[in-house]
Structure 1
Amino acid sequence: MTITHDFSGATVVITGAAGGIGAASASAFAAAGASVWVLDVDSGRGEAVAADIAAAGGRARFQRCDVTDDAEVERAIGAVLAGDGRIDVAYCNAGVGWTKPVSTTEPDEWRKVLDIDLTGAFLTSRRAFLAMRDARSGVILFTGSPHGYRTMAETSAYAAAKAGVGGLMRALALEAAPYGIRVNSLLPGAIDTPALRAEAELSGDPEDAIRRWGAVRPLGRIGRAEEVADLALFLASPAASFITGAELLVDGGAMAAQPAGLATVAPK
């Protein structure tokens, strides 16, 4: 169920919005009345997301943006300001997953993940903050990850990047607070997105992998992209007006659960 919020008159920018959580968030903000800018390197899928939103009666435009290129990020933010004259919400969501241990991760592979997941978040949030600062209002959101706190041997670069996103978010929250700008992160767990499905394909039995990933969570399932989008709308809304510098888990209770083998209380 989508929570009802009113973003009429607001301009929302979302990176990595051509699919998954970004596309779901773009649709949700548009349904709530916002003018949404879909930013992504994938022009075909990004334009399709914007067209689908428009077909549903919403307002959306696509702008190509490689978040690792500061000049391109500056152009994209400039296009938003030229088109709408303001940015009320910037959701720095673009990212790439990575499954490879430290011992076999090549330096160029490491740099690629950090360039997209961490440097991309920095470049986008920096440009958004500069645009919001004079208006003395706005909301900046990041997509972090529980991997920034608890991870596995095979996710070295991804875990490092997402831990960095958490540090960036907290520092920016402190810098932005005097200007009335709030900054927070969402930490999605296993969410049913094309990226998760692609990872499941590596197991040889993707449906079994999805089932297992859901079964180990206290809620007994993986999440939906729309559930993350609902939280993004909440954090961007006046209902969250006293929340900044926070990381909100969307993981079905996984981070709250101690591994069964480490339990200190005998099961009933």
Structure 2
Amino acid sequence: MKWDPKQYAQFSDHRDRPFHDLTARITAGDPQLVVDLGCGSGPQTHSLAKRWPAARVIGLDSSAEMIEQARAKQQAPNLSFEMADATIWMPDPDTDVLVSNAMMQWIPGHRVLMQGWLNALAPGAWFAAQVPGNFGSPSHALMRELADSKRWAPQLSGVLRHRDVVAEPAEYLRLLLAAGYETEVWETTYGQVLLGPEPVLKWVRGTALRPVLDTLDTDEAAVFESQYAELVAHAYPAFEDSSGRTMTLFPFRRIFMVGRTL
């Protein structure tokens, strides 16, 4: 799947907050090797390099576009970026901190992969991950319904995953406990306020809509987006604040897990 770093960077304040809420729970004092799996264009990885200047910090991603952007814009003496396929990647035994932020939901069967990563980390190592928990929200449900409609099903059948994309918090908790981790798992629903016209469409263009945009040609994608925008405008009605700004409430549920292997 092709990623657009510029599109993804929109709403960066909202997208960055879960990463910082996640990594704040990691209390590793002096790690030597920190890995950010699914680093995207790298600004959060750069924050890890600043937090642990004595550590070697590596950002990994399967998108050549994202890695190119990261190498060009995120630089520090202890920071590097590499291409990696998370479906076959395994952490080195000397990894002290492994972070995966909003990446695992893209991989079918990621819980099996996660179990392998947990088992590969040495005693004392940290694992921290965050996945979106909003696949039942209108933004995703309406997209799937439209893709399954008579107009779009011939081209988009099976393109959007929706069953078993992520687990509930209790399942991730059991995985971490079974692997011998001291752990905490929690969820947060952020009450996001998006500004301007069609903000939900602009949000999903950077993430959930990517499989559709990769499948349809330019003209068809524009028609799909127009129909989708009309649907979500009713689900997430815009309003004006006292200064006349147009804003939309966009609640977003996230699932977090942090653990240290014993």
The alignment's TM-score, normalised by the length of structure 1, stands at: 0.50
**Equivalence for 1:90:** 99
**Equivalence for 1:161:** 164
The share of aligned pairs that are identical, in percent, is 11
* Whole-Å separation in 2 of the counterparts to 1:223 and 1:164: 19
* Whole-Å separation in 2 of the counterparts to 1:186 and 1:14: 21
Is 1:118 the counterpart of 2:120? The answer is no
Deviations 1:89-112 (A, max 9, x none): 33164367xxxxxxxxxxxxxxxx
Alignment of 1:1-268 (within 5 A): 9-10=30-31, 11-19=33-41, 23-33=42-52, 35-54=56-75, 57=76, 59-69=78-88, 73-74=89-90, 77-78=91-92, 81=93, 85-91=94-100, 93-94=102-103, 117-123=107-113, 125-135=114-124, 137-147=125-135, 151=141, 152-153=144-145, 154=147, 158-164=161-167, 168-176=171-179, 178-182=180-184, 191=203, 194-196=206-208, 198=210, 202-204=221-223, 213=232, 216-217=235-236, 220-221=248-249
SS at match of 1:62: strand
Q: Shift of residue 162 of structure 1?
A: 1.6
SS at match of 2:79: strand
In structure 2, stretches of 5+ residues that fail to align are: 1-12, 149-157, 193-199, 238-246
Residue type of the alignment partner of 1:195: T
Contact 2:98 2:128 in 1 (8 A): yes
Q: Shift of residue 58 of structure 1?
A: 6.8
187-196 vs 158-167, greater mean Cα deviation? 187-196
> CA 1:88–1:68 in 2, change beyond 3 Å: closer, same or farther?
closer
Deviations 1:55-74 (A, max 9, x none): xx4743223222223xxx12
SS at match of 1:162: coil
* Whole-Å separation in 2 of the counterparts to 1:60 and 1:207: 41
> CA 1:167–1:87 in 2, change beyond 3 Å: closer, same or farther?
same
* Whole-Å separation in 2 of the counterparts to 1:61 and 1:122: 27
> CA 1:149–1:205 in 2, change beyond 3 Å: closer, same or farther?
closer
* Whole-Å separation in 2 of the counterparts to 1:36 and 1:185: 27
* Whole-Å separation in 2 of the counterparts to 1:173 and 1:12: 19
Contact 1:12 1:36 in 2 (8 A): yes
Deviations 1:88-144 (A, max 9, x none): 233164367xxxxxxxxxxxxxxxxxxx52324531x23431243522x42331424
SS at match of 2:99: strand
Aligned residue pair count: 194
Residue type of the alignment partner of 1:134: P
Q: Shift of residue 40 of structure 1?
A: 1.8
> More helix per residue: 1 or 2?
1
* Whole-Å separation in 2 of the counterparts to 1:213 and 1:41: 30
Contact 2:101 2:129 in 1 (8 A): yes
* Whole-Å separation in 2 of the counterparts to 1:18 and 1:37: 12
> More strand per residue: 1 or 2?
2
In structure 1, stretches of 5+ residues that fail to align are: 97-115, 242-268
> CA 1:163–1:195 in 2, change beyond 3 Å: closer, same or farther?
closer
Q: Which has the higher contact order (CA 8 A, sep 6+)?
A: 2
> CA 1:216–1:149 in 2, change beyond 3 Å: closer, same or farther?
closer
Q: Shift of residue 206 of structure 1?
A: 5.1
